[in-house]
Chains A and B, each alone.
Chain A
């Protein structure tokens, strides 16, 4: 795995921006120096936090996984194709038909105006048991087993980029929080 450099980060950012400009997304917000472009771009491609993103490029007459490999791939003349996040999913075979969930955006028109306002992605850090403890995972998994897809490589947004991509079993240390409650012991302690 290559170490991250400022160059690769910049290249990734430029690729994302270029893709967005080329596709001409309807709801693109102009990135500013204060706000990372990645988060804004991310929101334009999802109906709500947790919705599968629409495809930000036109049909390329190729199988999706040719470019969207386990680690992602730099495609000459096109940019970086982010990794397939579904590799390693429990029913991975069920995610082969990419266009079952991911839509092309062939038009900017609306059939009828919509008042839908979806759940927004909440950016936050995962909570830690203490300084130096691995943070817990602060988001839903939603069939994205391949953490590297978003957290490593050129398409990883700087704020969520992993500092130690060489360690591949992420959930060895990073836990999902599946309940807000604490354990109640069956055997009560002394009062």
Chain B
């Protein structure tokens, strides 16, 4: 009898039974109130917050959820998306059988055997005819750790390719490279506890009230208890977050690097620098700074393949002082539109040693042509003031997907990475992976593969012949979408695994039905390094199968059984995890054992001797730090186990408004819908709250264009056009000559307008800045 059967059997006897974790009943629940319902714990399916939910199952169907009061993340509270998780599973158009596109272009049902054979055949043919550069897997920060690990191993150890990249490249890559360039190890040192004990919260381009509402609510609770808590909203438009802010700092799009350098300038000028901390813990670095040399990844030759590589060198505090002379508050004020006085106030707040300082950011900073640099500068502010790796004092990067950290970043499902901070370019890293994977030395290809945008450019050119896309919807999310228009039957072979039809399944040659969320056993890792396990609670519909299973079956058909020797065993999840866990032990990224993960609401790594770590690099918290007090950046071997302050200049965005295209356009998410809406739009309550995308426009601009609230307007960029409803003074209020459009709506594709400019180091596209004009329809 497996665990699920046991729970079911127990559920028949008792009216209600709790999950394996204490307590069996939430307060207010009783055996008599909820009949024949079995509750079990899981992380939410959507964002990177990783809220704990309890899922109610009756008759093999999810009938309710509630916020998990025992989850340290959300303490019983969810958001509108989380509360409406159950109906996400039950859209009547769920994909339930493998579908192959026939010659006439229609999808017809085939068996799993046929589908898996077909995939193995296409990948095999591409490999033998064109080599490992011609195959690609485009995955997801929504992959469970199992899915990502199976894909990584199949691609890197099986096909000897590095063409595996996740949609997290569009989302988190700049944060990864920020942490890697400064600490030589990815992911934050702080955790959500900082939200309860911080004093000054700086939100850099981050509409937290909508995108991370549960975490924002923790700040609001902190503020209720401690009225002196400040929320500083540094933003390009007024959002629901601004409604709660103590200070609103409106900046021009793309000027954030100037502002951060302006604050650094003030800190240095006014002596608010923690020199003792710098001497002990910090080195200075700088790289290529010439805008011409770097480019934007979307013009000229770079529009086909963008492989800019930085050439870092040592720098010094004296050089930093010299460098910052360009960023006096007055000059920064000219660039950013923020008054010099306000810049000085921000510097005083960052410099105040009596107060705890937390910086938070997400897509505003990451989806940025200089996103890695901006990540560096935010962390610089904390390093120069010594406000880092201390409770209540940290830079903290928020993630948008449930396992962007756990899977994409920790498993390392990126074109250059391996698990636990390792990279394919380093021989010792390849050797370690080959040893754990029991494959011959030299198996792993040392040349990084395509990053996401180049992967799709290569598919378009025909350099990539066969691609498998799982748990993501690139034909909605890629920038400059018209570049990637595709018709099946163009000589390439595209497989898409998903749970619902999307614009991406529309262009697929083969569509596979996947099991979703609690229809399979899973593990996600959230923004604060918390690895969270859940059990399979219900059966998937029809013949839907989990993504990891799909990959292992194809690998087997390609003669790669040796990679997944336990694939047929009942406990393959645990066996796969324990193999993966070996990468992490002893590295400072140690993951907890499987049984412990099953029994808890997730644990924050490094987990050593069963104990989680709240603050990395901090004495008294991180078991790898042997010092009695202070911090030790022990992962940064290349910097003498110190952190790096980077000197990073401000560069203008790739495209700026002009006479022909006079408006800035920014894109993003909204509270009701998660990313492309393929799940949340199938939830009646969420769809009915936000049925279609709109454009937020400033009232004065609307008057000038003779546009009323609710009128249809056409947005035109150099790349495409779409028609949307205009909203004036709605939830978001952009300043003059600035627009915002959410990207969830597949019938109003804002990415037809965006530009495929990207960050020079992370190769993450900039979805936040391009130029458009507005026409009344």
Taking beta carbons and an 8 Å cutoff, which residues of A are in contact with B? 26, 47-52, 54, 90-97, 99-119, 122, 124, 127, 136-143, 176-180
Contact = CB atoms under 8 A, between A and B. Distances in A.
A90 B87 CA distance: 29
Q: Which of A92, A94, A117, A180 has the most CB of B within 10 A?
A: A94
B775 interface: no
A92 B224 contact: yes
28 contacts: A26-B688, A47-B683, A50-B65, A97-B209, A100-B80, A100-B671, A101-B78, A109-B687, A109-B688, A110-B684, A110-B687, A111-B691, A112-B92, A113-B93, A114-B87, A114-B684, A115-B91, A117-B61, A119-B56, A122-B34, A127-B32, A136-B30, A139-B33, A179-B25, A180-B15, A180-B30, A180-B31, A180-B32
Contacts of B244: 96-97
Interface string B675-695: 001000111111111110000
B405 interface: no
A142 B85 CA distance: 16
B23 interface: yes
Contacts of B30: 136, 138, 176-180
Contacts of B313: none
B242 to A, nearest CB: 12
B528 to A, nearest CB: 17
Interface string B66-83: 110000000111111001
Contacts, number: 194
A143 B682 contact: no
Contacts of B37: 119
Contact of B64 (A49, A90, A138, A176): A49
B80 A93 contact: no
B646 to A, nearest CB: 35
Contacts of B240: 97, 99
**Chain B, interface residues (CB within 8 Å), range:** 35 or more
B241 to A, nearest CB: 9
A176 B28 contact: yes
A122 B35 contact: yes
Contacts of A137: 28
A87 to B, nearest CB: 12
A83 to B, nearest CB: 19
A115 B92 CA distance: 6
B24 interface: yes
Nearest to B196: A91
A107 B58 CA distance: 30
Nearest to B691: A107
Nearest to B63: A119
Interface in B91-124: 91-93
B323 interface: no
B66 A93 contact: no
Given A100-B79, A110-B684, A118 B86 contact: yes
B685 A54 contact: yes
Given A50-B64, A176-B27, 17 more contacts: A47-B83, A47-B86, A47-B87, A100-B79, A100-B214, A107-B688, A113-B91, A118-B63, A139-B33, A143-B67, A176-B28, A178-B26, A178-B28, A178-B29, A178-B30, A179-B25, A180-B31
Contacts of A122: 33-35
Contact of A94 (B61, B217, B682, B685): B217
Contacts of B684: 26, 47, 110, 114
The A interface is mostly helix, strand or loop, or mixed, namely loop
B137 to A, nearest CB: 28
A54 B683 CA distance: 13
B225 interface: yes
Contact of B83 (A51, A140, A141, A180): A51
B217 A100 contact: yes
A143 B76 contact: yes
B84 A92 contact: no
Contacts of A118: 63-64, 86-87
Given A92-B224, A93-B222, A97-B216, A112 B31 contact: no
Contacts of A124: 32
Nearest to B24: A179
Q: Which of A49, A99, A107, A108 has the most CB of B within 10 A?
A: A99
A101 B61 contact: no
B90 interface: yes
Contacts of A91: 75-77, 217-218, 221
Contacts of A99: 80, 240, 671
A50 B29 CA distance: 11
B682 A112 contact: yes
A95 B218 CA distance: 9
B63 A140 contact: no
Contacts of A48: 63-64, 86
Nearest to B74: A94
Interface string B11-26: 0001110000001111
Contacts of A90: 75
Contacts of B176: none
B332 interface: no
Given A94-B218, A100-B80, A119-B58, A141 B27 contact: yes
A22 B765 CA distance: 45
Contacts of B58: 119
B213 interface: yes
Contacts of B64: 48-51, 118-119
B217 A139 contact: no
Contacts of A111: 677, 681-682, 687, 691
A51 B84 contact: yes
A22 B27 CA distance: 37
B223 interface: yes
Contacts of B32: 124, 127, 138, 177, 180
Nearest to A140: B28
Given A100-B217, A103-B672, A140 B29 contact: yes
Nearest to B66: A50
B220 interface: yes
Contacts of A100: 79-80, 209, 213-214, 216-217, 671
Contacts of A105: 685, 688-689
Contact of A107 (B56, B682, B687): B687
Contacts of B86: 47-48, 116, 118
A97 B87 contact: no
Contacts of B209: 97, 100
B23 to A, nearest CB: 7
Nearest 3 Cβ contacts at the A-B interface: A180-B31, A93-B224, A93-B221
A113 B684 CA distance: 9
B89 interface: yes
Contacts of B686: 103
B80 A101 contact: yes
A63 to B, nearest CB: 9
Contact of A140 (B33, B500, B685): B33
A174 B676 CA distance: 46
Nearest to A86: B77
Nearest to B222: A93
Contacts of B25: 178-179
A115 to B, nearest CB: 5
A149 to B, nearest CB: 15
A97 B213 contact: yes
Contacts of B77: 91, 94-95, 101, 143
Q: Which of B80, B91, B216, B685 has the most CB of A within 10 A?
A: B685
A163 to B, nearest CB: 22
B221 A94 contact: yes
